[in-house]
Amino acid sequence: MRFRQIHAAWKRESIPLTWTIETRIAIDGPVGAGKTTVGRQLADRLDYRFLDTGLMYRALTRAALDDGIDLDDEPAMAVLAGAGRIEYRFSPDGGLSVDIDGEDATILLRTADVDRGVSITAALPAVRAILVARQREIAGEASIVMVGRDIGTVVLPDAELKIYLTASAEERARRRHEESMKLGIDGTYDEILSATLRRDRIDSDRAASPLMQAEDSVLLDSDNKSVRQVVDEIVELAESRR
């Protein structure tokens, strides 16, 4: 039905078909590469929605920890993921808020217990299947910049543009360390570097949808580049593909 309407409009107005269909930009990459900062600014520039899929794994982890569910208990975690207790709300500025049981839990998704537990949640295939289906539904609603680890490879393999954003582990740790110092959070550069390397290993070695670069993605290395430069490059790529 939707295709017929679009096609009729296209014939009537002679507008390029691609202008009327939602555009999906996938950004994947390792922890700390700047995906969220870049993705949010890119979405602002293009007036697209922005979805940080890591928040969905984090919300599920938060709800499980609060309910005392063992994060390793795959059947129980899958029931929780499918129970409809977690809702995602897109605010007018394009950002995402997460409600758990009707309460705004957005600021509770980056606490240390969630940080520690979320890689266990994200390794469960039954959970991933449910969250990936929801991510695809959301991507069908409006043009979107979606960031994560498996967006270009699994969630949206036919996305119009796929970016694999990376930076050296040292640079990623340096940025995290700078952020932590600004926020008054303890942690030396060496500790942050070893945590970064550990999370890289967990994300890349897990059996279910490990982090890897999609073959048809564009590799962008953000070492020695400002956020603005990276966003400009992606906007140019998006425009050149229209």
Q: Which residues are at the interface with ligand DC (CB under 6 A)? A: 31, 53-54, 57-58, 118-119, 122, 148-150, 203
Which CB sits closer to ligand DC, 6 or 227?
227
Which CB sits closer to ligand DC, 171 or 203?
203
Burial (CB < 10 A; 0-12, 13-18, 19+), residue 9, is middle
* Contact predicate 177/43, CB 8 Å: no
Q: Kindly state the smallest distance separating residue 31's Cβ from ligand DC, in Å.
A: 5
Which CB sits closer to ligand DC, 208 or 235?
208
Q: Kindly state the smallest distance separating residue 4's Cβ from ligand DC, in Å.
A: 33
Q: Kindly state the smallest distance separating residue 132's Cβ from ligand DC, in Å.
A: 8
Q: Which 8-state DSSP code applies to residue 146?
A: E
Q: Kindly state the smallest distance separating residue 79's Cβ from ligand DC, in Å.
A: 20
Q: Which helix (H) or strand (E) holds 103?
A: strand 103-104
- Amino acid (1-letter code) at residue 79: V
Return the bridge partners of 49, or none. 144
Q: How many CB atoms lie within 10 A of CB 6?
A: 15
Which CB sits closer to ligand DC, 26 or 231?
26
* Contact predicate 234/35, CB 8 Å: no
